[in-house]
Every structure is written in C-alpha cells, then in structure tokens.
Amino acid sequence: MFLLSPSPSPTQSPTPDPSSTPPTSVLELPLQMTEGLSRACKSSGEADIVCDLVSSVLPAAWAPVVGGLIAIALILVIAFVLRNVAHRLITRVVRRASSGNSSLAGRLRGRQTVQPEGLDAVAAERRRQRSETIGSVLRSVSSIVIIGTAILTVLERLSVPIAPLLTSVGIIGVALGFGAQELVKDFIAGMFMLLEDQYGVGDVIDAGPATGTVEAVTLRITRLRDADGRVWYVRNGTITRVGNESQGWSRATVDVPVAYSAEVPAVREILSQVAGEMWEDPAFRDSVIVEEPQVWGIEQISDTALVFRISAKTIPSRQAEVAREIRLRVKAALDRASITIAG
C-alpha cells in the first residue's frame, strides 16, 4: 500500500501580500480631477456645447478637460455677475427706502428733494440707519447663497463628493448653533427690532437693564447713555420689553400745589390763561407743542394743599423743556395773583 502525498497544483499562484500594494500617490489627484472634468464634460448638456466648441479647435484628448475648465470658469463668472446684480438691486432699494421717495409723490417729484427739518430730520435719520443695516444683512446673505451654490456646483463638476462635505458642515453648524445660542438670539432680536422700528438713535428708552438715550444700534447690542453720562451696552437678546419715550409724541405733566384756602375757580382761570399763552407763543406752538395744553383740574386734595394738573402734548423728547416753561409761567402768574404755592 502506497501513501500518496498531494502535490502542489501547477496552476496555483501565491497570495499577494496586501502590504506590498503601493499606496495611491498624491500625484494621482490631478489625474482624478482631470478624469472628473472629462466625465462631467461628457455627461452635462451645457458642457457638451462647450466641448463641441473646444473639440473643433483642440485635439479630442484635450477637449473634455479644457471644456470642463471653461464650464467651471463660466459658473464662477455667472455667480459673481449675479452677486453684483443682487447687491446693486439691494442698494437701490435701500437708498429709495432711506430717502423716503418710494411713494408715487416722491417719484413724481423726481430729483426735487426737500431737506427735512426738526422732527422730520430725526425720522429720516432713523429710517436711513435702519435701511442701511437691513441692506447690509441682505447683501451678506445674497453673497453667501450665490457664492456657496457656485462652489458646490464646481466641486460636483470636479467629481468631488459633496455629500460628506455637506454632512460635516451640517454637524459643525449644529455644534456652533448650540455653542452660540446667545449670539444667534441677539442677532434675531436685533433684526426684528430694526424691522419693527421699535427704537432708533436719539430715542430715550427704558430697556429694563438700563434707561437712557440710544447712541448706537447694531444687530447684536444697543448702546445707551443714562442721565449720569454712564454708557450701557445691552445685548438685544436680553431686552424683553422696551419703553420708548421718543416715538410719536410725548406728554408734559405739571402738578401745581396751592394752599387749601385758595379759591378753586380763580386758580383754574389763572392756569387756563397760562396754558393759552403757551399755545399762542410762536416759539412753542406746532414746533414743540402739538396740542393746546389742558388744565385737568384738581388731581389731589390734602389738609394743606390742592394739587392742580396741567397736561401738554409735545413732540418726542421735548416734554421736560415744556414742563419747565409751564412751571416758570405758573409761578409768575400765581405770584401776581397773590396765591400761595403750598409746600
């Protein structure tokens, strides 16, 4: 009995060692991009036109590559042209909105513009600042959208996988969103504040954390200066309510305490005369006081005094000036009538 040992098959080849496979060289990357340009040029209808034009001049081997490069150049040129057109349109709309000539009357007047004065000048400045801020945001958004779309289109044409890139950008965006929640909150609050015209530069507001005159407004912060000269920087996202003393109109209220023994009809007559004189004064009428001051009558009664109240409707932020003038005139009128002012 013979034992036969298996002999090696002549057709069996040795298994290659994975470690012996040469790694992909960095120099192959341009070749891969060139192949991507060729595939993109052959698979895209728009690029076929370019390839046909190029192939009539260059050899067939170079036509796909050159055609792909020309297509990428066209994409970038179109993107920058669209960006410039969008910026010009936004700038034109912003200028028209800030100048206040968007109405039919403004268009009919054409270039004949009248420089605003007084309250109209303040409103015009607020409108200009608000329009420029919104225009800056719109220009930035349009640039990001147009240029970002062009870059993604170019990467896709180069056969670069953009799905992992978009996934990475999405993950980074989520991480930044969680880490910069307060910053995003401030920007969103600032945008709505500007769009709704809640306040502007020069307004006297009560923003909760601070009260004072608005010196600057941005998408992130509002800068206030209080009566003591202290400057406050308030983040827009922390402002939950705003009391604006300078929007529309203001009211000057003056309380006049007189002795309890004073005659009520005589005091009312004197105060009414003072209110009438204020209304007839050309230095205050219409330019500072928008309605005739009213004597509301007795506001309080105590054992030592009767408190009369005078109210005057003024333009924004001028109520303190009007109140001081009313006090001076009331004091002089009561002194002439020998009516004692109670303490």
pLDDT digits (tens, 9 = 90+) for 268-321: 999 999 999 999 999 888 788 988 899 998 988 988 899 999 999 988 878 889
Cα–Cα distance list, 191 to 144, 208, 290 (Å): 18, 19, 32
Please give the model's pTM, rounded to 2 decimal places: 0.54
pLDDT of residue 181: 80
Residue with the larger pLDDT of the pair 33 and 149? 149
Domain extent listing, the chain = 30-105+119-179, 196-244, 250-336
Residue pair 178/185 in contact (Cβ under 8 Å)? The answer is no
Residues near 238 by Cβ (< 8 Å), separated by ≥ 6?
A: 208, 209
Residue with tokens 């640039």: 143
| Topology alike, domains 196-244 and 250-336 | no
pLDDT of residue 95: 83
Query: Does 2.30.30.60 match the CATH number of domain 196-244?
Result: yes
pLDDT digits (tens, 9 = 90+) for 248-271: 788 899 999 999 888 999 999 999
pLDDT digits (tens, 9 = 90+) for 179-202: 778 888 888 888 888 778 888 877
CA 129/CA 124 separation, integer angstroms: 9
Is the pLDDT at 91 greater than 60? The verdict is yes
pLDDT digits (tens, 9 = 90+) for 69-83: 777 888 899 999 999
Residue with the larger pLDDT of the pair 307 and 129? 307
Is the pLDDT at 34 greater than 50? The verdict is yes
Q: Which fold has domain 250-336?
A: Alpha-Beta Plaits (3.30.70)
